[in-house]
């Protein structure tokens, strides 16, 4: 959704407010064009600060995310394999891990089953896995599914 918003209104500053963990989604959101990212469990005062900062044309990340980014720059070897996935590959991984089948995934992503199969094949290759069971296990181990 963010990519579509940025495509239609490129100058619009978007602050992402999500239920998802910052460590898994914030970087992806910032790369897609978000001006900031905040988890819904954040303190209300932090939300006000984030809104003001983004409204004034600056970026916003929490101190915890800033620390994580700093650590990632200095120790890139700890970066999980799924960090290198494209947005569609990542979405495919999450949908497979949530138990959806090929037709359900293709419907939800508005893609042909063949295209979803291509994303799945890329996932398996990039994550060095061989089947859906391993994909699901990987997603659970990395807290990518609720």
pLDDT at res. 84: 81
Q: Is residue 146 one of the residues assigned to a domain?
A: no
Q: Is residue 26 one of the residues assigned to a domain?
A: yes
The conformational region for residue 16 under phi > 0 = left, psi -120 to 50 = alpha, else beta, is beta
Can you give the residue range of the structural domain that contains 126?
81-141
b/e for 48-86, b at 16 or more Cβ within 10 A?
Answer: ebbbebbeeeeebbbeebeebeeeeeeeeeeeeebeebe
Report the CATH number at residue 90.
Answer: 1.10.10.10
pLDDT at res. 118: 93
Distance in angstroms (rounded) separating the CA atoms of residues 29 and 24: 10
Q: How does pLDDT run across 8-22, given as a tens digit for each residue?
A: 998 899 999 988 777
Domain boundary pick from 27, 55, 78: 78
Contact assessment for residue 94 and residue 127, using Cβ atoms and an 8 Å cutoff: no
pLDDT at res. 75: 60
pLDDT at res. 76: 55
């Amino acid at each position: 959704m963010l990519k579509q918003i940025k495509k239609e209104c490129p100058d619009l500053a978007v602050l992402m407010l999500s239920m998802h963990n910052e460590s898994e989604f914030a970087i992806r959101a910032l790369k897609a064009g978000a001006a900031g990212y905040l988890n819904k469990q954040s303190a209300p005062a932090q939300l006000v600060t984030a809104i003001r900062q983004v409204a004034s044309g600056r970026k916003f990340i929490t101190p915890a995310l800033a620390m994580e980014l700093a650590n990632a720059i200095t120790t890139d070897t700890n970066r999980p394999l799924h960090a290198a996935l494209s947005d569609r590959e990542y979405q495919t991984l999450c949908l497979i891990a949530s138990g959806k089948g090929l037709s359900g995934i293709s419907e939800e992503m508005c893609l042909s089953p063949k295209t979803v199969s291509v994303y799945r094949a890329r996932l398996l290759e990039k994550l060095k896995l061989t089947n859906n069971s391993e994909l699901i296990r990987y997603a659970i181990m990395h807290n990518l599914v609720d």
